[in-house]
Amino acid sequence: MSIKQVAKLAGVSTATVSRYLNSPEQVKEKTRDKVQAAIDKIGYAPNALARNFRRGKTSLIVVVLPSIGDPFLESVMRGVWKVADELGYSILIRDTQSNSHEFDEYTDLVFSKQADGILLLASISPFSEPEAQRGSRGKTHPPLVLGLESVTRELIRFPSVRVDNVAAAAEGTDYLIQLGHQRIAFIAGKRDSLLTHDREQGYRNAMGAAGLEIAEDWVVEGEQTIDGARRATRQLLQLQQRPSAIFCANDEMALGALHEIKSAGLKVPQDISVIGFDDIRYAEITDPPLTTIAQPAEEIGERSMRRLCQIIDGNSDERGPETVPHKLIVRNSTAKISGR
């Protein structure tokens, strides 16, 4: 079946059928109905590859993320898929396994116009070469948007959609302070991550504003994993003056902290309060349910994908970050300090 047959059956020109297939909003409703009826009757299916070739697009987006099994990123991806389906894009996922692999085979897809752009979700840069070297080889930089925060400094200048991590962590820390806690520990992620740096900075800002000193052995690295947080929590529990509360830079580490505290024969929140960050789907059903800072994960995915598509279509030249609101979710893993 061809576009000419559709046009003949609908009683319109082939140009009108083409316009309907590519920009239906530019066709009058009555004409749209006639064209669609003709398509349905003869079973016409447009050749997507040919259409994309003519338009200079592939309708393929490369999504780079540190772990496809991360429950928070899974929620972000729901938003990405929603917009991709709406706008007719396909997704190719690159799982970096949280390390610094070279991604030339993936970035070459974009530089050679086999993909339209890159969406980075809390991941390191996919470029193994400086941009200057690529420029000298006649290649231009592809559209790139960060879903969530910049992980490394070279990514700061790209458009992003994220919460204010400094303000969010400060709010979580201040909540613990209002409960009477003064010995508040912080389990960070990876030391070279800007995400960890911003959340630690928020913690330090709140402690400083309250006039509370931070013992340097209260700030420990949890590697952004459950196992890393268990090791970090054991370290904190062995201190001569252990903390009365622990702020974890993500919920996975908070789960590890909860497990380790209970394994040591202590109770949450009676002996130690715990707060996390992200509000993953497990946070509400932990024992006890986890107090955390919620990020609107699906909204971040939607906004990031939509912004990337706007740049690809030449409809956006905005370069700065787009900030979405966070929310403190109070559950049973935090409580007033004993005696207050």
Residues 229-263: pLDDT tens digits? Answer: 999 999 999 999 999 999 999 999 999 999 999 99
Are residues 268 and 313 both part of a single domain? no
Same domain for 259 and 142? Answer: no
- The backbone torsions φ and ψ at residue 225, rounded to the nearest 5 degrees and listed phi first, read -130, 165
Average pLDDT over residues 154-161: 85
Mode of pairing for the β-strands spanning 184-188 and 219-221: parallel
> Are 287 and 317 in a shared domain?
no
pLDDT for the residue 135: 42
pLDDT over 90, % of the chain: 54
Summarised one tens digit per residue, pLDDT across range 78-99 is 999 999 998 889 998 888 775 5
Based on the fold, state whether residues 206 and 98 are members of the same structural domain.
no
Q: How far apart are CA 236 and CA 59, in angstroms?
A: 49
* Residue 106 pLDDT: 57
Q: CATH number, domain at 174?
A: 3.40.50.2300
In this prediction, residue 137 carries a pLDDT of 46
Overall residue count recorded for the chain in this entry: 340
Whether residue 155 sits in one domain with residue 303? yes
265 has a pLDDT exceeding 80: yes
User: Do residue 138 and residue 94 come from a single domain?
Assistant: yes
Question: What pLDDT, on a 0 to 100 scale, did the predictor assign at position 127?
Answer: 60
For all residues of the chain together, what is the average pLDDT?
A: 86
Residue 330, in any domain of the structure: no
β-strand partners of 119: 63, 145
Is 70 exceeded by the pLDDT of residue 306? yes
Q: What is the pLDDT of residue 321?
A: 86
pLDDT at 133 over 50: no
Mean pLDDT of 265-284: 96
* Residues facing 294 on adjacent strands: 278, 327
Residues 153 and 174 in one domain: no
Is residue 116 within 8 Å of residue 60, measured between CB atoms? yes
Domain total for the chain?
3
Q: Is the per-residue pLDDT at 117 higher than 70?
A: yes
Same domain membership, residue 273 and residue 222: yes
**Counting beta carbons within 10 angstroms of the beta carbon of residue 314, is it exposed (0 to 12), middle (13 to 18) or buried (19 or more)?**
exposed
Cα–Cα distance, 212 to 173 (Å, whole number):
11
Domain that holds residue 175: 165-295
Same domain, yes or no: 185 and 285? yes
Cα separation values, 253 from 116, 123, 211, 240, 324, Å? 35, 18, 27, 23, 23
The pLDDT value recorded for residue 142 is 74
Residue 329 lies in a domain: no
Is residue 105 domain-shared with residue 25, that is, in the same domain? Answer: no
CATH number for 34: 1.10.260.40
Output the pLDDT for position 77: 95
Please give the C-alpha separations between residue 4 and each of 25, 31, 32, 37, 210, in angstroms, as whole numbers. 21, 16, 16, 15, 74
Span 3-19, pLDDT tens digits: 888 889 999 998 898 88
In-domain check, residue 39 = yes
Distance (Å) of CA 320 to CA 72, 156, 256:
24, 9, 35
Q: Is the pLDDT reported for residue 218 higher than 90? A: yes
Domain presence at residue 26: yes
Residues 212 and 307 in one domain: no
Whether residue 79 lies inside any domain: the answer is yes
Q: State residue 190's pLDDT score.
A: 81
Co-location of 154 and 169 in the same domain: no
Q: Is 141 left (phi over 0), alpha (psi -120 to 50) or beta?
A: beta
Residue 213 has pLDDT above 50, yes or no: yes
**pLDDT category, 193, cuts 50, 70, 90?**
confident
